[in-house]
Amino acid sequence: MPSAAPDYQLTRTYLELILELPWKKSTTDILDLAHARQVLDEDHFDLQDIKGRILEHLAVLKLNPQARAPILCFVGPPGVGKTSLGQSIARSMGRKFERASLGGMHDEAELRGHRRTYIGAMPGRIIQAIRRAGVLNPVLMLDEVDKLGRDYRGDPAAALLEVLDPAQNSTFRDNYLDLPFDLSRVFFITTANTLDTVPRPLIDRMEILRLTGYSEEEKVEIARRYLLPRQLAQTGLTPQQLTVPDETLKQIVSRYTREAGVRQLEHALGQVTRKVAVRFAEGNTQPVTVRPEDLPVMLGPERFFLERARQQLPAGVATGLAWTETGGDVLYVEATLLPGGRGLRLTGQLGEVMRESARAAQSFVWSHAGQLGIDPALFRGTGLHIHVPAGAVPKDGPSAGVAMVTALTSLYTQVPARSDTAMTGEITLTGLVLPIGGVKEKTLAARRAGIRRVVLPKDNEKDLRDLPDHVRKEMSFVFAERIEEALAATIPNVAKEPQMQADGRR
Ligand SMILES: Nc1ncnc2c1ncn2[C@@H]1O[C@H](COP(=O)(O)OP(=O)(O)OP(=O)(O)O)[C@@H](O)[C@H]1O
Ligand SMILES: [Mg+2]
């Protein structure tokens, strides 16, 4: 073909891709369990479940080299180590690591390639990643599957289904490449912050492994053993030159960061080490110890103040717990009567689900007025207003149900709820308390605010094992299957009366 021919360049690029793709080339796995464990522990604190799962797979590969790689999905809040864990897994097995981000991808062709007839056609992200890896068995991390888009250009999630199906992916066809490529030896790991937006069939194909947020103590441990040494190495300081005692780390964790993971913490430590590096570069030779008092100079004024729980609650207020991107938060549900008003008014940027949960709470309280010792006359001619501060922060989800019922019951009975108790749980109209997510983050948030007693749905009892031992010992938990049990734990005396009253009326 003469080089002036119109598709000379196109054909050449295509052939180059074919020649560059690792059709048969692979790396040999290191199947040494002791080595793998050491590498995994070197890179990450705790996360025992996931490390254990990787070691299991290595053991299987040792016995059966043809074994299929599992398709793992790491789910957890930002900065808890999902991406870096993938890298560490690759290192522990001696495999290449490649990453493709799926966030914001709308077009199926981005994943699977454009046909060569299109101008500017390219292979999809998967084939591109394989080409970069140069072997057909890398650890391939598909980041942010929960942020896949979907529109008229096709549904990338559907294309992912094929990629992640062990029965089909040995002959994966990229539109550009137009030849089957064997993906069956790729170790796929996907990551997501939440599974809510991941299509069901995709979830079914993956093995879900959850990473939870870290407690303050765990963060200090991670900072001391992992983040600080890494930052020191980066700035070229030795551990003798800079010491950051635990109390300083604790201060950084609680006053300069608010997050489930450790990303801000890592930035803050980077800032501290750089400030110290400047001193050494300017000729200082004395070892430096960073005390908590030095932090305002190095990191600026404290950014977060310890949240303190409200000591006294007026009637109509309940202490709820929320799961947020940055971990957990204590959230107060405030309710008040509007004499002469009508209906239910909801404020505080509540999402649709949360508004519905407020309505369900109202209906439950109204319909169980007798049992709860509430005078039904109160409902007539009075409106109701529920507000959930902070007003500017959007909130959603069903898990504030129990707190809403508590706030309303407390309002109508004029008995204040206990201020030392936080609660979370979804409710049904008939009075069941359904399980919720984020137990660890929520419990840690309560503890941070100085609350030591938490009401949880009965079905969440199993999640307590995610909590560090010292936290579990310090806190007391009440498990509720029905709203009445939750109310008994949150509003003094409200539970004993209902039985008598309900009987009395019958
Ligand atoms: N358990 C841990 N031990 C040591 N370092 C950790 C741990 N968890 C997180 N890190 C460190 O925190 C940083 C952020 O982690 P990473 O980028 O993997 O987060 P992520 O979970 O992928 O977050 P995102 O959801 O935002 O992508 C990394 O430098 C990582 O090494
Ligand atoms: Mg990541």
Sign of the CA dihedral 365, 367, 373, 374? positive
Rounded Cα–Cα distance for residues 238 and 29 (Å): 34
Q: Could you tell me where the DSSP H helices lie in 120-170?
A: 125-133, 156-163
Q: What is the pTM of this model?
A: 0.79
Rounded Cα–Cα distance for residues 223 and 269 (Å): 8
Rounded Cα–Cα distance for residues 142 and 191 (Å): 7
Per-residue pLDDT of the chain (506 residues; tens, 9 = 90+): 888 888 888 889 999 999 999 999 989 888 888 999 999 999 999 888 889 998 998 899 889 888 888 899 999 888 999 999 999 999 999 999 999 988 888 888 888 899 988 888 899 999 999 999 999 999 999 998 888 877 677 778 888 888 888 888 889 999 999 999 999 889 999 999 888 888 888 899 899 998 888 888 889 999 999 999 999 999 988 888 888 999 999 999 888 888 888 999 999 999 999 999 998 899 888 888 889 888 888 888 888 776 677 788 888 999 999 887 667 888 899 999 988 888 889 898 888 888 999 999 999 998 988 888 888 888 888 889 999 887 667 777 888 999 999 999 999 998 999 989 999 999 999 989 999 988 988 998 898 888 999 999 999 999 998 888 888 889 999 999 999 999 999 988 775 444 444 444 43
Rounded Cα–Cα distance for residues 464 and 434 (Å): 16
- CA–centroid distance for 339 within its chain: 42
Residue whose CB lies within 8 A of the most ligand 1 atoms, among 42, 48, 83, 191, for a mutation test: 83
Ligand with an atom nearest the CA of residue 41: 1
Ligand with an atom nearest the CA of residue 79: 1
Per-residue tokens: 213 = 């947020």
User: Of all protein residues, whose CA lies closest to atom 8 belonging to ligand 1?
Assistant: 81
**Would you say 452 and 474 are in contact if contact means Cβ atoms under 8 Å apart?**
yes
Q: Which one from 96, 399, 410, 458 is the annotated catalytic residue?
A: 399
Task: Of 202, 206, 188, 13, give the one whose Cα is nearest residue 100.
Answer: 188
**Would you say 361 and 404 are in contact if contact means Cβ atoms under 8 Å apart?**
yes
234 C-beta closer than 6 A to ligand 1: no
User: Of all protein residues, whose CA lies closest to atom 18 belonging to ligand 1?
Assistant: 81
Rounded Cα–Cα distance for residues 194 and 147 (Å): 9
Q: Give the three-class secondary structure for 389.
A: coil
With tokens 């009326």, the residue in question is: 505
**In which element (H, E) is residue 411 found?**
helix 401-413
Residue whose CB lies within 8 A of the most ligand 1 atoms, among 41, 89, 263, for a mutation test: 263
Ligand with an atom nearest the CA of residue 77: 1
State how far the alpha carbon of 145 is from the alpha carbons of 150, 169, 192, 268, 416, in Å: 12, 18, 6, 29, 45
- Per DSSP, the residues of 202-248 read HHHHSEEEE-PPPPHHHHHHHIIIIIHHHHHHHHT--TTTEE--HHH
Residue whose CB lies within 8 A of the most ligand 1 atoms, among 41, 51, 80, 88, for a mutation test: 80
**In which element (H, E) is residue 192 found?**
strand 187-192
**Would you say 458 and 434 are in contact if contact means Cβ atoms under 8 Å apart?**
no
At residue 270, what is the residue type? G
Atom of ligand 1 nearest to the CA of 85: 18
**Would you say 329 and 322 are in contact if contact means Cβ atoms under 8 Å apart?**
yes
User: Of all protein residues, whose CA lies closest to atom 26 belonging to ligand 1?
Assistant: 78
Beta strands 317-324; 327-339: pairing state: antiparallel
User: Of all protein residues, whose CA lies closest to atom 4 belonging to ligand 1?
Assistant: 44
Residue 399 annotated to the active site:
yes
Question: Could you give phi then psi for residue 477, rounded to 5 degrees?
Answer: -120, 145
